[in-house]
Amino acid sequence: MSQATIDPGARTRAASLSGWPQRLAHTVVVVAGWALFVWGWLEVLGRPWDSEALSWLIVGSLVVLPTITIAWILHNLGIHRRKGARTGVPRIDESYPRDWNGREVVADWPALAHARLITVELDGERKVYRMAKEGSTAHGLHNGGNGGAPTRTLTRSTG
């Protein structure tokens, strides 16, 4: 796996609009979007309605949604103040010693990365990943000949 390097001192910004045609098109799209938004609300407000619940929904959404948005922005600003700017993806432990059920996982991951067919065998409290033999066409759950323990054979395409 390759890790991209990021200069912590470098600041990233959105690309600016280049040239007047792109700025004009951008302005037209933004104005059209707002016009459509205002027109939609005028259509809604122009219709007769006497539902108190709808009034509360509209007023509530005009108060609650901006409040939640501002709280989220302030939360993220607080994280930025405490930790600084994000300079890369956090490193994680990529080991896989146990599965979700607590079984020990036994596998040669580099070799399995190139395998066309992989068998997964449950051997007591162990889950064993193996490359299947060439020519094997087993699919699904079957008795893998390991004392009656079920084996799930998975195929994956390499092309």
Q: Is the domain of 75 the same as that of 120?
A: no
pLDDT at 56: 87
Alpha-carbon gap, residue 46 to 56, rounded angstroms: 17
Mode of pairing for the β-strands spanning 126-131 and 117-123? antiparallel
Alpha-carbon gap, residue 31 to 23, rounded angstroms: 12
Q: Is the domain of 113 the same as that of 147?
A: yes
Alpha-carbon gap, residue 112 to 147, rounded angstroms: 24
pLDDT at 4: 46
Q: Is the domain of 79 the same as that of 32?
A: yes
In terms of residue numbers, what domain contains 69? Answer: 19-83
57 domain residue, yes or no? yes
pLDDT score of 96 more than 70: yes
- Average pLDDT estimate for 133-157: 54
95 domain residue, yes or no? no
pLDDT confidence band for 104 (50 / 70 / 90):
very high
Q: Is the domain of 132 the same as that of 78?
A: no
Per the listing, tokens 């010693």 go with: 97
133 domain residue, yes or no? yes
2 domain residue, yes or no? no
- Per the rule left: phi > 0, alpha: psi between -120 and 50, beta: everything else, 13 is beta
- How do residues 64-87 score in pLDDT, each as one tens digit? 999 999 999 999 999 999 999 888
Q: Is the domain of 29 the same as that of 79?
A: yes
6 domain residue, yes or no? no
pLDDT score of 159 more than 50: no
pLDDT at 17: 79
99 domain residue, yes or no? no
Average pLDDT of the chain to the nearest whole number: 81
pLDDT at 86: 85
Q: Is the domain of 34 the same as that of 79?
A: yes
47 domain residue, yes or no? yes
pLDDT confidence band for 133 (50 / 70 / 90):
confident
Q: Is the domain of 79 the same as that of 111?
A: no
31 domain residue, yes or no? yes
Q: Is the domain of 113 the same as that of 72?
A: no
- How do residues 20-64 score in pLDDT, each as one tens digit? 899 999 999 999 999 999 999 999 888 887 778 888 888 899 999
Count of structural domains, the chain: 2
- Max CA-CA distance within the chain? 75
pLDDT at 9: 53
